[in-house]
Structure 1
Amino acid sequence: MLIEEERLAYWINNFYGYGTWNARIWFIGYEEGGGDLPEEVAEKFNYLYNGHQTFSTLCDVREVYRHVAFRQSGAKANLISNHYEYRFDRSATLHGVWKNLIAFAHGYRKEALTDILTYQKEQFLLPDAGREALIKLYPLPCPHNHGWYYSWLDLPLLGFLKSRTLYEEHVYDMRIQHILENMSAYRPDVVLMYGMNNITRLKQSVQKFFPDVSFKMVKAIKQLMPQYHRADLGATTLLITTQLPALHHNRIETGFDWLQLGRTIANP
């Protein structure tokens, strides 16, 4: 399946993530996951291009995933046909990052955390529930190895895709402006930006949009709290951290207690 220039451009300009802007808790990841296979990327682009989202809305992750075929090998290869079944159906697998986002949300809402997988399947990011949104600072799906496969595409009108640096520079201002405008308009209770590697620039962008805001850095506590930068934007608490809510190379000593972080932010 070919990646078409017009559909890729439409994705860049319209895809901001999953859930609803009305959600009380926003998670903002550095970029959209996936991207190992061009077929998977093309299926996402095609879904959006066919009229399932506009600039002003977020996607329903369950509907997107129904349109993305499951191509991984392993024990579930013959049992699962698409990503919806992989993450939300009866044989769903717990997502390594989502489980910690779910824990953070439960901690912040002062809810008991019981069955994370059931919550992932039945409630996480449901647009109608308005509980969480998962937004992406950068839109293009990229694999965990951070490879930049888009440079191989022959897309004359999208020359900025020749390198990740050019791409990020090209889209950053538009996307952070739209995110901050919506943050001001919808006033979520808490926004957690995670896995960020451009902390200084992000803080400058926030302070340009909210001139009276200042940040406080909170130091890490090993295996308990990640280091993060906090700003209070009126009704919204903004957190920015370089940490990804997942274990690094599956080593337990690289993790943090995201449930406790949520509780701490709710009760500073």
Structure 2
Amino acid sequence: MNSQDYFNDELLEKRVDKFYGYGNYQGNYWFIGMEEAGGDFKENNNRINVWSNRGELELEDLVEYHIAIGARGLFQLGAAIQPTWNKLIRIVLSAKGIKNINTEDVRKYQIYELGRANQETCLLELLPLPSPSLADWTYSQHSLIPFLSNRNDYENHCVEKRINYISNKIKECQPSSVVFYGIRYEYSWIKIADVEFLPTSEGFLIGRSNQTVFTIVKHPTAFGVTNEYFHNIGKSIAASP
């Protein structure tokens, strides 16, 4: 066995247990998705090693971390706008009452504010390991951890624990808004929120607790979704009592 072809399994288990996402638990705007995108073994291994070298934090600073893994270009003048972040940012800007949101508004927010440790957003992941797709599971080939032998075992190992942890964090921190994105995991989103959801005419679900507005929305990269769809989500958040 060539160790260069394998993850550090001790580190992988720490990542599974400890990492939840980016930003600030005290922020008003929380976004919860299934998992962050990854790549091949080399890319995922770099992401996890950088996370370890930076202190194995529960919440990372999105900008500092991505610069550390080699994605500095996302935060420079004229940066390309990351497709998922694009739509999440549009929700925030719309919820804050900004009209006629344009590409430069989104780019500026991506560069300076999204997922920062001291700013207003919190980006959480239901699952802790980066992966390029549901079908592409690199961990089975590069780890000896039994629950990483396939995605189903991995999800069975992680999901309920993380549902409970995130749900308790929401109750503790009481953000103004929690947006769950990705309809496939609606069951998990409903368990985390623990509120009744109702459909809207704009095509997303909305629910409320005493402190927080919850929405379940299409994934930002889903086929056919428009900027206006995400602007309407922000407006609904702003209009909620």
Class of the TM-score when normalised by the shorter of the 2 chains? 0.7 to 0.9
- The residue aligned with 2:63 is 62
Per-residue deviation at 1:198? 2.9
CA distance in 1, matches of 2:56, 2:175: 21
CA distance in 2, matches of 1:172, 1:259: 30
Q: Supply the RMSD in Å over aligned alpha carbons.
A: 2.0
Secondary structure at 1:179 match in 2: helix
Secondary structure at 1:133 match in 2: strand
- The residue aligned with 2:117 is 127
Equivalent AA in structure 1 for residue 141 of structure 2: W
- Within the candidate set 95, 100, 111, 1:108 is matched to 95
Unaligned stretches of 5+ in structure 1?
69-81, 208-212, 220-224
**Structure 1 residue ranges, 4+ long, deviating more than 4 angstroms after superposition:** none
Q: Work out whether residues 23 and 60 of structure 2, in 8 Å CA contact, stay in contact via their aligned partners in 1.
A: yes
Residues 1:254 and 1:186: Cα distance change in structure 2 (over 3 Å): closer
Residues 1:53 and 1:5: Cα distance change in structure 2 (over 3 Å): closer
Residues 1:256 and 1:118: Cα distance change in structure 2 (over 3 Å): closer
Query: How does the TM-score come out when normalised to structure 2?
Result: 0.88
Residues 1:204 and 1:254: Cα distance change in structure 2 (over 3 Å): closer
Query: How does the TM-score come out when normalised to structure 1?
Result: 0.79
Per-residue deviation at 1:150? 1.3
- Within the candidate set 49, 61, 64, 1:46 is matched to 49
Secondary structure at 1:198 match in 2: helix
Per-residue deviation at 1:163? 1.3
Unaligned stretches of 5+ in structure 2?
none
- Within the candidate set 9, 14, 17, 1:13 is matched to 17
Which aligned pairs between 1:1-268 and structure 2 lie closer than 5 A? 2-34=6-38, 36-54=39-57, 57-68=58-69, 82-83=70-71, 85-112=72-99, 113-114=101-102, 115=104, 116-129=106-119, 131-144=120-133, 146-155=135-144, 158-207=145-194, 213-219=195-201, 225-228=202-205, 230-241=206-217, 243-248=218-223, 253-255=224-226, 257=228, 258-268=230-240
* Higher helix content, 1 or 2: 2
Q: Work out whether residues 52 and 59 of structure 1, in 8 Å CA contact, stay in contact via their aligned partners in 2.
A: no
Q: Work out whether residues 3 and 42 of structure 1, in 8 Å CA contact, stay in contact via their aligned partners in 2.
A: yes
Q: Give a deviation string over 1:151-208, Cα, whole Å, max 9, x none.
A: 21241xx21111111111110111111111110111000000101413234424543x
Q: Which protein has greater RCO, CA pairs closer than 8 Å, 6+ apart?
A: 2
CA distance in 1, matches of 2:211, 2:31: 16
Residues 1:50 and 1:238: Cα distance change in structure 2 (over 3 Å): same
Q: Work out whether residues 84 and 221 of structure 2, in 8 Å CA contact, stay in contact via their aligned partners in 1.
A: yes
Residues 1:147 and 1:18: Cα distance change in structure 2 (over 3 Å): same
